[in-house]
Structures are given as C-alpha cells and as structure tokens.
C-alpha cells in the first residue's frame, strides 16, 4: 500500500509533520516564513531521505503561494498570537485571519482530510457576550471568532465534516500540561467516522508520566543551551513577570507548558526554590498579597532575596518534554530555538491524531472499528 501523503503549512520546526511521518504518512510539501524554522525542517526532513536531492521545504509567506500540489491530508497550525491567553486577545487582530490561507490551500488541493491545531484561547475569543467557554474541561461553546472559522472550514471546497476537541498532552503520555484545540475535517464524500484519540493517562488510567519518568532529569545541557537574561550584571536576571508566579515544579511532576518566549521558560527543578531558602516567613506571606501592578517595584526592592541558583530549563530539556527525539536538529540562535520548540505541536500528540485518520487508508470506516465477535454454534 502506498503511503498517504501530507502537505504541511505553517510548519514551524516540524512537530506536526514529524507526528504524521511517525504514523506512516509521506510528506510532500512543507512551508514556513521563518528562515531558522526552514533550516530546521531541511535538516530533519530532506537530508535523511533516501533521495538526497529531494526538496519538500519551501520558505515564503503562505499568502503568496498558490501551488501546493495535491495530497491526502493538509495540516496547518495557523499562527495563534491573536488568540493566545498570553497576549491582548483582540477580536479584530489581523493575525486571526491567517486561517484564510489554510482554507485556500484546502480548496486548491482538495484533500480527504485536514487537521489544524491552535491554543486554548482560540475557543473563547469573541465579541462581548459571544465568548466561548469550557465546562468540566470540555469545550461547551465556541466563541464567535472560532465558530465563524469552523463554519467557513466546513464549507470549504467540496465541504467537510468538522470535529474539534481540546486535548491535553499529559493525558497522552507526555510530561507536560499543554491544552490545545485540534480541528479535524473529513471530506463529506468519504464514508468515514473520525474520532479523537482516547486519553491513556489520568484518573482511572495509567498514571501521568513525570519529567523524571521521561528522562528529562538525565539530560545534560550545555551552558550555551540555557537562556540567561543579561540585564543583571554578573548574574541571571528574572523580571517581575517571571517572579510573580510559580515557575518551578519537581522532577516527579509534569512540566508547565513549554512557552515560545525563552525568558518565561519554567525553572529547572534542580533550582529547588525560586526565592532564597533563608527568606523570612513573613516574606512568603507578602508574596501572596502582592498585586499584579505592584510586582515591578516589589521585585526591584527584593532582588537580593531571589535564589542565586535559579535557572531556566534548557531548550534541550524543553524539546524532550515536547516529545522531539534526541537527535532532532534545531537551527538558529538561542531565542529562536526556544521559540521554535515552544510553538511546536508535540510530535507524539499529532501522531495519535494521525493514527485516528490512518484507518481510512486501510479500508476502515471509522477511527476505532469494532472487532466482530466470532459466532460459535
């Protein structure tokens, strides 16, 4: 059987594409507008090929590209800055319209399936009174922006049956709290019932995989692989935003979400504490009372109480937590590598979604075909 084919848009450093590749799909086209990301893609998806001249990576703004070829699947995590909870989340943010180019590619290529991934904030953004919300960890209602996007994707090209679900990386065996919405479209002329992968870890299932379980504690990182903010002479600098919240978990926990901003990456568990161990009991009480707008002044006045051994996790540790293999190569300077990793879809997460599409190409009618029981006389 020939491998089903994939077009990857907004590819970043290739997390989604790697997930599909590991599930047995062949990548025919990849695109990103960032030079470092494209170098990363070429290092990992072109050179290892049996054909050394094979070129699948094209750098450029997707809005200027009109030739994608054809493929069985298109995947694209259109940029999320306009939806992210870490940003201003404006309904009229121009970046919220970048899904149009994914839609256009779907129209041109007419794939059997499409897959998109975005931040949790994509679900809730909307005009006043029309914001989305969650109930018991599930999507109860899409905000007006997400709802409009889903409706447009449903009517794209030949038309698609669209499903969406909020998935958390730690529920699927990764040592990370990372909630993302996945959107999957199945072309309407196909007789296939797509279902999202079932959680494998959590209450009543396998225990969550910790950073220690996953081998992150054993990773030896070079000093050049750890981001250090040089604003403070002679020692690392941690600003008010960093110190205003807990950034530290133990090795026997799952990690915080790996962010794209190198300066906000979680603290290495070996730091033990964020503040000096010797701080007075009343200081710990003060921390709970400091309001957001007071943190810059509070941090400035208490710089000597920050743990001198506090350090951020390395990009190599972050890549491992995201599920990238040890030999995966990243290109760019330190901030760029952190950004690529933080923006990526964890490959094992996308692989599990891909595994739920794969049965179609094996002649099955659904993601989880029921096994027929043998009838005995």
Q: Quote the Cα angle for 254-215-217, to 5°.
A: 75
Same domain? For 348 and 288 the reply is no
On the question of pLDDT at 138 being above 80, the answer is yes
How many domains, the chain?
Answer: 2
Q: Any idea which residue has 């009343």 for tokens?
A: 282
Distance, in Å, from the CA atom of 262 to the CA atom of 230, rounded to the nearest integer, reads 13
Distance, in Å, from the CA atom of 126 to the CA atom of 134, rounded to the nearest integer, reads 14
Same domain? For 233 and 129 the reply is no
Q: Between residues 14 and 100, which one has the greater pLDDT?
A: 14
Distance, in Å, from the CA atom of 165 to the CA atom of 167, rounded to the nearest integer, reads 6
Q: How far is CA 82 from CA 88, 99, 344, in A?
A: 7, 12, 17
Give me the CATH number covering residue 165: 3.40.50.150
Cβ proximity of 322 and 330 under 8 Å: no
On the question of pLDDT at 286 being above 90, the answer is no
Q: Strand pairing partners for 323?
A: none
Does residue 265 belong to any structural domain of this protein? yes
pLDDT given for residue 83 in this prediction: 45
Structural tokens at position 320 = 């491992």
Same domain? For 26 and 164 the reply is yes
Q: Quick one: pLDDT band at residue 125, thresholds 50, 70, 90?
A: confident
The mean predicted confidence, pLDDT, of the chain is 88
pLDDT given for residue 133 in this prediction: 78
On the question of pLDDT at 266 being above 70, the answer is yes
Residues in the chain, total = 377
Instruction: Mention every residue, 6+ apart, whose C-beta is less than 8 A from residue 59.
Output: 31, 32, 33, 34, 35, 38
Q: Quick one: pLDDT band at residue 226, thresholds 50, 70, 90?
A: very high
Same domain? For 158 and 45 the reply is yes
Last residue of a domain, one of 313, 347, 370: 313
For 314-344, what is each residue's pLDDT tens digit? Answer: 999 999 999 999 999 999 999 999 999 999 9
pLDDT given for residue 135 in this prediction: 82
Instruction: Mention every residue, 6+ apart, whose C-beta is less than 8 A from residue 66.
Output: 108
Distance, in Å, from the CA atom of 274 to the CA atom of 309, rounded to the nearest integer, reads 9
Same domain? For 241 and 168 the reply is no
Same domain? For 167 and 39 the reply is yes
pLDDT given for residue 224 in this prediction: 92
Which stretch of 16-20, 152-156, 329-333 has the lowest confidence by average pLDDT? 152-156
Same domain? For 257 and 349 the reply is no
Residue 248: strand, helix, or coil? coil
Same domain? For 257 and 357 the reply is no
List the catalytic residues: 80
Structural domain of residue 279, as residue ranges? 227-313
Q: Between residues 99 and 312, which one has the greater pLDDT?
A: 312
On the question of pLDDT at 193 being above 50, the answer is yes
Q: Quick one: pLDDT band at residue 94, thresholds 50, 70, 90?
A: low
Q: Between residues 368 and 176, which one has the greater pLDDT?
A: 176
Which stretch of 79-88, 200-209, 223-232, 340-349 has the lowest confidence by average pLDDT? 79-88
On the question of pLDDT at 372 being above 50, the answer is no
Same domain? For 260 and 292 the reply is yes
On the question of pLDDT at 56 being above 50, the answer is yes
């Amino acid at each position: 059987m020939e491998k089903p084919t994939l077009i990857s848009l907004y590819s970043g450093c290739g997390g989604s594409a790697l997930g599909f590749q590991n599930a047995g799909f062949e990548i025919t086209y990849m695109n990103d507008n960032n030079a470092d990301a494209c170098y990363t893609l070429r290092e990992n998806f072109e050179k290892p090929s049996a054909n050394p001249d094979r070129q699948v990576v094209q750098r450029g703004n997707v809005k200027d590209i009109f030739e994608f070829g054809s493929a069985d699947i298109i995947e694209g995590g259109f940029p999320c800055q306009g939806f992210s909870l870490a940003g201003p989340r404006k309904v009229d943010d121009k970046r919220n319209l970048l899904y149009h180019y994914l839609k256009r590619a779907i129209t041109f290529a007419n794939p059997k399936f499409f897959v998109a991934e975005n931040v949790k904030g994509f679900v809730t953004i909307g005009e006043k009174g029309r914001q989305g919300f969650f109930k018991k960890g599930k999507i109860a209602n899409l905000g007006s922006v997400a709802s409009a996007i889903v409706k447009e994707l449903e009517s794209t090209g030949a038309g698609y049956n669209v499903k969406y679900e909020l998935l958390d990386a730690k529920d699927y065996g990764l040592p990370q709290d990372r909630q993302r919405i996945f959107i999957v479209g199945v072309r309407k002329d196909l007789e296939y019932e797509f279902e999202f992968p079932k959680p494998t870890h959590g209450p009543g299932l396998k225990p969550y995989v910790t950073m220690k379980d996953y081998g992150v504690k054993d990773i030896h990182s070079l000093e050049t692989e750890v981001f250090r903010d040089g604003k403070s002479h002679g020692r690392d600098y941690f600003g008010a935003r960093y110190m205003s919240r807990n950034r530290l978990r133990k090795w026997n926990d799952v990690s915080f979400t790996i962010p794209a901003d190198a300066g906000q990456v979680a603290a290495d568990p070996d730091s033990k504490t964020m503040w000096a161990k010797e701080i007075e009991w009343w200081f710990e009480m003060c921390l709970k009372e400091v309001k957001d707008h007071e943190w810059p002044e509070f941090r400035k006045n208490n710089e000597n109480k920050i743990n001198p051994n506090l350090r951020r996790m390395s990009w190599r540790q972050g890549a491992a937590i995201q599920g990238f293999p040890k030999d995966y190569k990243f290109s760019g300077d330190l901030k760029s590598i952190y950004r690529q990793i933080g923006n990526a879809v964890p490959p094992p997460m996308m692989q599990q979604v891909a595994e739920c599409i794969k049965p179609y190409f094996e002649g099955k009618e659904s993601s989880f075909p029921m096994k027929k029981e043998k009838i005995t006389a």
